[in-house]
Chain A
Amino acid sequence: MAKRVGVEVSIAIAEAVKLARAEVIPAYPITPQTHIVEHLSELVANGELDAEFIPVESEHAAMSACCGSSAAGARTFTSSSSQGLSLMSEVLYIPAPMRLPIVNVVANRAMSAPISIWNDHQDIMVQRDIGWIQTFAENGQEAVDLVLHAFRVSEDRRVSLPIIVNIDGFTLSHVIEPIEIPDQEEADAYIPPFKPKFKLDPKKPITMGPVGIPEVYTEAKVAHNEALKNSKKVILKAWKEFAEQFGREYHPVESYRTEDAETILVTMGSISETAMTAVDKMRDEGKNVGLVRIRLWRPFPGPEFRKAAGKAKVLAVIDRCLPPGALCGPVGAELRSLFYKIPGSPKIFSFVAGLGGRDVTVARFEEIVDKANKYAKKRPKELYEVIGVREK
């Protein structure tokens, strides 16, 4: 039976990776991902997890080894963050079109300069278009559940794509929470053994990663994009079966008190929990405010989001990434294109908040809602605003 324990989220994630029976773990340490890989190397050292932990010399090598391992037919896991994720960036683009399943937990952290070890989403927004499935966890339980879900979906032959599970650095990775960790039997029932359709095998030689001449390159990219878009069906089914087996429900977007809400906050990741508290407070004060949290970032769940938030008059989107020189934050821009020229669609404003570990408090959410409502009446010059900038 599953046990509910008080445990640091990073340790719980490592335990989930063990339950998923990961076989090869190439990893390079970077704050705030370290506790995940430390605990995994302990599990391997103690013989609790029968896997190869490859202590690689860089994140670029980590992702390179992940590609080799997955292509050879082993269940593959790694974890990274921020500068490390950017260092792997060149390789991150490669496993998705090559259809190599890999699970990568990213402990989201700010990008240098100035160097900052603290949390925001700039690291993953840089990697938005690598072609991986990408999910965001809002608490420790969800982080564990999304990791189990990721192995199941990634290796499904209809999907065969790598997945990034985003967890907020420190605010999730280093926090102790009560988490229900499934037992091995339950995990095995949910995650079948990895049986790839193609692998590097001298008995059946294949060429992987050939040159894409102009006559085939476009088709290869389109095929990958189709696979990514089609993966949503499997993602949803795997969440449905997760709910049946474990009793915890997950959807691509989650609504909170959105019925009759005129203004809806949009969040991703752990600030969603503070946002819920803020919504409760504003509701108590008679304000018609709700919240929609995006859990599935890629492939973007357009219809689900429209259904969840389409009736609101105003969307106040929290972007945890400053978009230098751009018109709007990345999440705001995504939603603007989702609702473009749809009659009666909400007015959308992006608020850049929580950069480099700055807390986004209940008061900040109230400020954001007030501003969004004000801007709905009188359109501001810019499509986004950075919240909480100190004047002195």
Chain B
Amino acid sequence: MIPEFEKFKGFKAKSIPKDEPLAPGHRACQGCGEVLALRMVMKALGKDVIVCSATGCMEIITTPYPHTAWRVPWIHIAFENAAAVASGVESARKVLRRKGRIPKKHVDIMAVGGDGATGDIGLQWISGAFERGHDFLYVCLDNEAYMNTGVQRSGCTPYGAMTTTSPPGSKSFGQVTWKKNVPAIAVAHNIPYVATASPAYYLDLMNKVKKAALVKGPAYVHIYSPCPTGWGSAGERSIEFAKLAVETKVFPLYEVIEGRYIMSRKINKPKPVTEYLKGQKRFRHLDEEHIDYIQKRVDAEYEKLLKLSEMT
């Protein structure tokens, strides 16, 4: 077990910090699930944190100069390299602390990016930072496509989904590949803590982020982030979809602590995937055959995960 977790009792609904390190008044779309997740991430982390942001929705909506929504130190350099920027910040603070040039007090360092910045263009930088063992957490806010540039497909776009670069047509049914398993890639680096989280389960999300910050060394939290604009879903239903994704086993919640898989929420009576797919325009073109494939593959992926949790 990880010693840093012993003293952490977990957040309770009543004890959620009132501080808002991410201020309201930013420019996110109505019903944005990503900024809601980010708000919870920041509540869990508090004020003693340095945020290294990738380019993306969360970067542009929070910092149109001269405005900023950040009440904590925040830096943005480019799209793919938030993990490397965080490596530099972490190393700098390490040597400055050692030399007595900054206070000894621990400050968390978080790199944050979307699914494109994390699973596609930034994979190498994250891999490097994980392998080198920097003490930081990486948070991926996964809204399953390049939303900031106008809904293009990414490696994390789900099978069958319509985006502007995976359009359904007479020779295509939308995204032809299965969603890239980025948490598994993080696990393959043998880092001490990996977790998936959802803003529908906000206490679980905050606890996981806090654990990722507490653990010594690199940690990775992959957060499902509904995007009404990109998904063609109703803004007021974002949390509902986040919940349905978990209840249909589409987005299982789990932790991987020192290589051991632990299911955060076992889904014993799963809802059919159609419950999740309907109501999102990105899936509405799918025929029965494709939906059938999605159901079978979702079940199989979940079974694999269960087996991993039994084995480890």
A66 adjacent to B88 (CB under 8 Å): yes
Most chain B beta carbons < 10 A, residue from A23, A200, A216: A200
Given contacts A200-B73, A205-B71, is CB(A23)–CB(B84) below 8 Å? no
Known: A57-B124, A210-B64, A213-B64. A72 touches B84 (CB 8 A): no
Instruction: Say which residue of A52, A208, A212 sits within 8 Å of B95 (CB atoms).
Output: A52
Contact between chains at A26 and B59 (CB < 8 Å): no
Residue in B63, B73, B88, B131 whose beta carbon sits within 8 Å of that of A64 in the complex: B88
Q: How far is the CA of A66 from the CA of B80 in the complex (A)?
A: 15
B93 at the interface (CB under 8 A from A): yes
- Residue of B89, B102, B124, B127 most packed against chain A (CB within 10 A): B89
A74 within 8 A of B: yes
The chain B residue with its CB closest to the CB of A57 is B128
What's the Cα separation between A146 and B139 when bound, in Å? 41
Question: B124 contacts which chain A residues (CB < 8 A)?
Answer: 57-58, 61
Most chain A CB atoms below 10 A, which of B59, B73, B74: B73
Closest to A213 in B: B64
> Which of A66, A74, A90, A200 is the one whose CB lies under 8 Å from B75?
A200
> Could you tell me if A210 and B76 are in contact, using CB atoms closer than 8 angstroms?
yes
Looking across the interface, which residue of chain A has its beta carbon closest to that of B52?
A68
For A200, give the chain B residue with the smallest CB separation. Answer: B73
Which B residues, 31 to 59, have Cβ-Cβ distances below 8 Å to chain A? Answer: 47-50, 52, 59
- B73–A202 CB distance below 8 A: yes
B143 contacts the other chain (Cβ, under 8 Å)? no
The residue that B88 contacts in the complex, of A72, A208, A216, with Cβ under 8 A, is A72
A73 within 8 Å of B by Cβ?
yes
Q: Please report which residues of chain A, range 46-92, place their CB below 8 angstroms from some CB of chain B when the two chains form the complex.
A: 50-52, 54-58, 60-62, 64-74, 76, 90-91
Q: A71-B89, A210-B65 in contact; A56/B77 too (CB < 8 A)? A: no
B147 at the interface (CB under 8 A from A): no
A24 within 8 A of B: yes
Closest B residue to A202 using CB positions: B48
CA distance A335 to B74 in the complex (A): 42
Chain B residues lying within 8 Å of A114, measured Cβ to Cβ, are none
The interface bits of chain B over 221-244 (1 if a CB of A lies within 8 angstroms of the residue's CB, else 0) are 000000000000000000000000
Nearest B-chain residue to A28, judged by Cβ: B128
Contacts of B59 in A (CB 8 A): 211
Question: Which A residues are in CB contact (< 8 Å) with B60?
Answer: 211
Which interface class (under 10, 10 to 19, 20 to 34, 35 or more) fits B?
Answer: 35 or more
Whether A74 lies near B91 (C-beta < 8 A) is yes
| Contact across chains for B50 and A200 when beta carbons are under 8 A apart | yes
> A386 at interface (Cβ–Cβ under 8 A)?
no
Whole-angstrom distance between the Cβ of A75 and the nearest chain B Cβ: 9
Asked if B300 lies at the interface with its beta carbon under 8 angstroms from chain A, I say: no
Is B81 interfacial (CB-CB < 8 Å)? yes
Give the residue name and chain of the A residue nearest to B128 (CB): A57
Contacts of B198 in A (CB 8 A): none
Query: A55 to B63, alpha carbons, bound, how many Å?
Result: 31
Assembly CA distance A213 to B76 (angstroms): 15
Looking at the assembled complex, report how far the CB atom of B74 sits from the nearest CB atom of chain A, in whole angstroms.
5
Q: Does A206 contact B (CB under 8 A)?
A: yes
- Is there contact, CB below 8 Å, between A202 and B50? yes
Total contacting residues, chain A, CB less than 8 A: 43
Q: Which residue of A lies closest to B47 (CB)?
A: A202
The CA of A358 and the CA of B168, in the complex, are separated in Å by 56
A386-B191 Cα distance, complex, nearest whole Å: 54
Checking B66, B88, B107, B127 against A68 with a beta-carbon cut-off of 8 angstroms, the contacting residue is: B88
- Of the residues B49, B92, B125, contact of A72 by C-beta under 8 Å: B92
State whether A50 touches B74 (Cβ < 8 A).
Answer: no
Residue of A26, A52, A55, A60 contacting most chain B CB atoms (<10 Å): A52
Least Cβ distance of B29 to chain A in Å?
Answer: 16
Once the chains bind, are A74 and B81 in contact (CB under 8 Å)? no
- The proximity string for B residues 103-144 relative to A, scoring 1 for CB distances below 8 Å and 0 otherwise, is 000010000000000000000110110011000000000000
Q: Is B309 an interface residue (CB 8 A)?
A: no
Question: Does B277 count as interface, using CB distance less than 8 angstroms?
Answer: no
B73 close to A69 (CB less than 8 A): no
Alpha-carbon distance between A45 and B71 when the two chains are bound, in angstroms: 38
Given A57-B124, A72-B93, A67 contacting B77 (CB threshold 8 A): yes
Question: In the bound complex, what is the Cα–Cα distance between A202 and B64 (angstroms)?
Answer: 21
A67 touches B65 (CB 8 A): no
Question: Is the pair A91, B65 in contact by a Cβ cutoff of 8 Å?
Answer: no
The answer to whether A61 and B96 have CB atoms under 8 Å apart is no
* Neighbouring B residues of A209 by C-beta, 8 Å: 63, 75-77
Cβ–Cβ contact B87 & A65, under 8 A: yes
List of B residues within 8 angstroms of A67 by Cβ:
75, 77, 85, 88
Indicate whether A94 reaches chain B with its CB closer than 8 angstroms.
Answer: yes
Q: Which residues of B are at the interface with A, using a C-beta cutoff of 8 A?
A: 47-50, 52, 59-60, 63-66, 68, 70-78, 80-81, 84-96, 98-99, 101-102, 107, 124-125, 127-128, 131-132
A residues adjacent to B (C-beta < 8 A)? 23-24, 26, 50-52, 54-58, 60-62, 64-74, 76, 90-91, 94, 200-202, 204-213, 216
What 9 A-B pairs have minimum CB-CB distances, sorted nearest first? A68-B88, A57-B128, A65-B88, A74-B92, A64-B84, A72-B92, A210-B63, A64-B81, A69-B88
19 more CB-based (< 8 A) A-B contacts, given A57-B125, A205-B71: A26-B91, A56-B84, A57-B124, A57-B131, A58-B124, A58-B128, A68-B75, A69-B89, A69-B92, A70-B92, A71-B88, A73-B102, A74-B93, A76-B88, A94-B78, A202-B47, A208-B75, A210-B68, A213-B65
> 24 interchain pairs (CB within 8 A)?
A23-B96, A26-B87, A54-B91, A55-B132, A56-B84, A56-B132, A57-B125, A64-B125, A65-B91, A68-B75, A68-B86, A69-B91, A72-B88, A90-B78, A94-B77, A200-B89, A202-B107, A205-B47, A205-B70, A205-B72, A205-B74, A207-B68, A211-B60, A216-B66
